[in-house]
Structure 1
Amino acid sequence: MTSSDQLQTTPSINPVLDQAIEFLTTKSATPPAPEAVVEALLASEKMARQTKIRHTYSQLLGTWRLGFVTGTKRSRRRAGVILGAGRFLPNWVKIQLSYSPSESDPEQGTVENSVDLGVVQLVLSGPTQFWQKTNILAFDFTRMKISFSGLKLYSGYIRGGQKREACFYEQSLKEQAFFTYFLVKNRCIAARGRGGGLALWTKAS
């Protein structure tokens, strides 16, 4: 099945998520209740498991702005983590993911996670590996750039990043951070993180 076939067979987006995307991209729309967004994300995740839709890394390429996240909390009764409250990120907080392709492998590439707080910008970057059978995107942040009012303060490896970057593709998935993408559209992507939280991004203009 080709990528275009996969997109054609993907179920239409949940109306609540559609409303959330309108709010995040236009700011003129009325936001849905955070609790409703969480339920809509969970419903989309369940549908993705049932329909067994498979995505490709090429569908993730580009820049996506983080717009909605859920927290997690420990639960002894459930022996793990459960979802906390969800929230929209304020407009002045600009957090973006940018995926770029590799020249050697269509399911590998690099990721940049940028946090822009006005005069201060932090960019973390590193290698990625997409596992199509499970829609899992593994990654590692091995480098960091810090700028203040456009002036570069630091650019280089972090936490033994050079060594970690060199052996990234030899590691097993359990050794890596990852997102499991259950919704991939032209306007948005949504995933569950390794820690159990949910996140929704919209396509950056």
Structure 2
Amino acid sequence: MKVIQGEEILSWEQDARRTGLSVKASQLSARWNLDQVFDRTGRSGGAGQSAILRAVGACLILEHQNKDESNTTLLVSNQVRLGPMVLRFEGDGALVGQRPLLQFSFKTLVIKFGERTLHQRQISPPPASKMPFFALIKIDNHQGLLAARGRGGGLALWKRQPL
């Protein structure tokens, strides 16, 4: 895959705002490995920042578990890995609106060593006004990429890895 620049993601974002993004929850069902991060203006987060996030296997795992294509709910996990150690947040999400937003809330924190769970605990959801989300900008099934803007304003680009 070619290197995507922040300016290109900003252009995709303008298109998504104008026309919306026709995406179904089932299209998002995959392991999305974080590839690049950018600040709110599209400047690279620095090769070092993206490289570190790739090195720790930062990924977003989305699972659509409903055969009904109109169902917008997903299981959402966000994790990093350092050798056999895994830190994972798990919860639920849904696509909302035409752009759309992927709104989610984590319910569980899991720490694993290999396949063994070392620690697991429930976490309180944030108030509705502070619910995290990704404003989806582009999904390209041919290139296997997903671009989005997070609640904090930063931009992210992920590469698809099938579940």
- TM-score range normalised by the length of the shorter chain: 0.7 to 0.9
Identity %: 29
CA distance in 2, matches of 1:118, 1:86: 24
Q: Superposition pairs for residues 88-99 of structure 1, below 5 Å?
A: 88=47, 89-90=50-51, 91-99=54-62
User: Which structure features the higher share of helix residues?
Assistant: 1
1:14-41 CA distance string (max 9 Å, x none): xxxx512xxxxxxxxxxx7xxxx11111
Query: Which residue of structure 2 lines up, in the alignment, with residue 23 of structure 1?
Result: none
CA distance in 2, matches of 1:136, 1:101: 15
CA distance in 2, matches of 1:106, 1:128: 11
Q: CA deviation at 1:136?
A: 0.3
Amino acid at match of 1:135: P
Q: Are 2:40 and 1:87 equivalent residues in the alignment? A: no
Q: 2:74 aligns with which of 109, 120, 124?
A: 109
CA contact (8 A) 2:25 2:71 kept: yes
Q: Are 2:24 and 1:56 equivalent residues in the alignment? A: yes
Query: Which residue of structure 1 lines up, in the alignment, with residue 136 of structure 2?
Result: 181
CA contact (8 A) 2:21 2:99 kept: no
TM, length-normalised to structure 1: 0.66
Q: What 5-or-longer segments of structure 2 have no aligned partner?
A: none
Q: Are 2:154 and 1:197 equivalent residues in the alignment? A: yes
Q: Superposition pairs for residues 141-160 of structure 1, below 5 Å?
A: 141-158=106-123, 160=124
Larger RCO, structures 1/2 (Cα 8 Å, 6+ apart): 2
Q: Superposition pairs for residues 2-17 of structure 1, below 5 Å?
A: none
CA distance in 2, matches of 1:192, 1:59: 18
Distance 1:152 1:53, change over 3 A: closer
CA contact (8 A) 1:56 1:132 kept: no
Q: What 5-or-longer segments of structure 1 have no aligned partner?
A: 1-17, 21-31, 73-81
Structure 1 runs of 4+ aligned residues shifted over 3 Å read 82-85, 102-105
Query: Which residue of structure 2 lines up, in the alignment, with residue 19 of structure 1?
Result: 2
CA distance in 2, matches of 1:143, 1:132: 26
Q: 1:46 aligns with which of 14, 19, 33?
A: 14
Considering only CA atoms, is the larger Rg found in Structure 1 or Structure 2?
1
CA distance in 1, matches of 2:19, 2:38: 24
